Structure 1
Amino acid sequence: MPEKDQAGNGEAEEYASIWQRLERPAKPPRTTLTHEQIAATAVAIADEEGLDAVSMRRLAERLGVATMGLYRYVRGKDDVIELMVDAIYGEEGMPETAPDWRATLRGAAWGLRGLILRHPWLVQVTASSGPLTPNLVARTDRLLASLESLDLDADTRMVVVTTVASFVSGTVGADVGLDRLMRREGVARMDDLRALYASRMMWLLGSGRYPAFENYIRQGVRKDESEWRFELGLECVLDGIAARLGI
């Protein structure tokens, strides 16, 4: 049977998170690495080459240690990803709170957008709920607290916070996907990408089946203004929250 944790509360050792293990009394040191070094190195690899490039072997090579030596600090890649996510949200810092809930959530949304654009692999990690790390939970806690003065129950406050976060992840995720496509096609400008896909687009428009889409393609003038699209979309989300909840 799995060994019980030190708190004696019956939780199986195999389910203890890295954060629980880090708070336990340290064993006699044989330390050559820190968890901060592991996180920073893994983040650097992911930023350069993508999340799939982060492996225990690659991480050990970059850190200059034996692969098995890493297992003194982490159990595997899942632990490494948790350390990475926590480091990234620590980089962002806590969202600034304002007297107005809307200003707080708006600022947090722009902050999260910048974070994902700097670390595009974050979209993969947080596509669902994402790992529960101290800095990520602290961020959520700060945003929930900014809504406590409103006449909303706890469930509704969480829906407000997660709705804004989902908008950010979805919108910026599309931008990240477009950037990946451009890299794969070897182009640096949207006009170059359009030229590559011109024949496909002309076939679609020429079919006459998509008149509203054709109208957008021919008349839209702000297709490449991602910040403008993000700002308008965010304001629509916040307007919808305010109207629906009467806040």
Structure 2
Amino acid sequence: MRQRAKPKREPLSRERVITAAMVLADEKGEAGVSMRAIAARLGVEAMSLYNHVAGREDLLNGMVDAVFAEIDLPASATDWKEAMRERAASSRTVLRRHPWAVGLMDSRSRPGPATLRHHDAVLGVLRAGGFSVAMAAHAFSVIDSYLYGFVLQELSLPFTSRAELDEVADGILRDVPTDAYPHLMELMTDHALRPDYAYADEFEFGLSLILDALEPDEVQV
């Protein structure tokens, strides 16, 4: 009887190692990513991973670069303000998908090609929009400070849905004397508990404040 051939295993590659590491990080956080855990996920020996990544720092470099690759590049032909708005929205979506990445995005001393391409594209749009080199740096910094800070705050909230928000608010209203914190109670009852309220709307409000405050400082010819 003819013996059935074993299915061919997909060759190990740097991309597969990094993808497996990102899936682990999405599930367990950065701390849950180890060479042993990645190897188990891929069905290989841990030592074989070192043929594709030099170590943990190289692995993190690759993971961060892969996250940057998922963010839409700002369109150079678009108005700088609209380009920054769209780029910030895409970044927020990607960082919510990979919460572990927020604190790592600009921490790499050896950034990968997607990271460099992303930063160059953002600066290119700002420079084309009339920002000097210094003002482009200021704009980039303040936008990302807001972006990363908002995502961190958003991810730490004790609710992820309208039903959970209502439950949290009901518990506070039930347990806290209404006259003890009148302004907080007013915020909850008159604002956060409105049927049309969504915390995500705060992102657009804050981003608009920043973008409207930024102005090009070079005369475009």
Check whether TM > 0.5: yes
Offset at residue 99 of structure 1 (A): 3.5
**Does the 8 A contact of 1:88 with 1:115 survive in 2?**
yes
Aligned residues of 2:74 and 2:87 also touching (Cα < 8 A): yes
1:219 maps to which residue?
Answer: 190
The answer on 1:163 being equivalent to 2:142 is yes
Q: 1:241 aligns with which of 175, 197, 214?
A: 214
1:232 alignment counterpart: 205
**TM-score normalised according to structure 1 size:** 0.72
Partners in 1 of 2:152 and 2:197 — Cα distance? 15
The residue correspondences of 1:1-247 to structure 2 (distance < 5 A) are: 32-126=11-105, 129-131=106-108, 132-178=111-157, 181-182=158-159, 189-198=164-173, 202=176, 206-208=179-181, 211-221=182-192, 224-242=197-215
- Percent of aligned positions with the same letter in both sequences? 28
Report the Cα distance in structure 2 between the residues aligned to 1:224 and 1:42, rounded to whole angstroms.
36
Equivalent pairs, count: 205
Cα deviation 1:212-239 (Å, max 9, x = unaligned): 4343233214695133211111111111
Deviation at 1:130, TM superposition (A): 2.5
Separation in 2 of the partners of 1:125 and 1:196?
Answer: 35
Secondary structure of the structure 2 residue equivalent to 1:152: coil
Please give the per-residue CA displacement for 1:127-178, whole angstroms capped at 9, x wherever unaligned: xx32222212211100111122344321221111221122111112111112
Q: Which amino acid aligns with 1:42?
A: A
Describe the shift of the 1:52–1:199 C-alpha distance in structure 2 as closer, same or farther (beyond 3 A). Answer: farther
Unaligned segments of structure 2, at least 5 residues: 1-9
Deviates more, 1:140-149 or 1:106-115: 140-149
Q: Counterpart of 2:123 in structure 1: which amino acid?
A: L
Tell me the CA shift for residue 206 of structure 1: 4.1
Q: Which runs of 4+ in 1 moved over 6 A?
A: none
Cα shift at 1:74: 1.8
Give yes or no for contact 1:190–1:224 (8 Å, CA) kept in 2: no
Higher relative contact order (CA 8 A, sep 6+): 2
Secondary structure of 1:147 counterpart: helix
Distance in 2 of aligned mates of 1:105 and 1:230: 13
CA RMSD of aligned residues (A): 2.8
Q: Whole-Å Cα distance in 1 between the matches of residues 73 and 21 of structure 2?
A: 22
Measure how far apart 1:192 and its partner are. Answer: 2.2
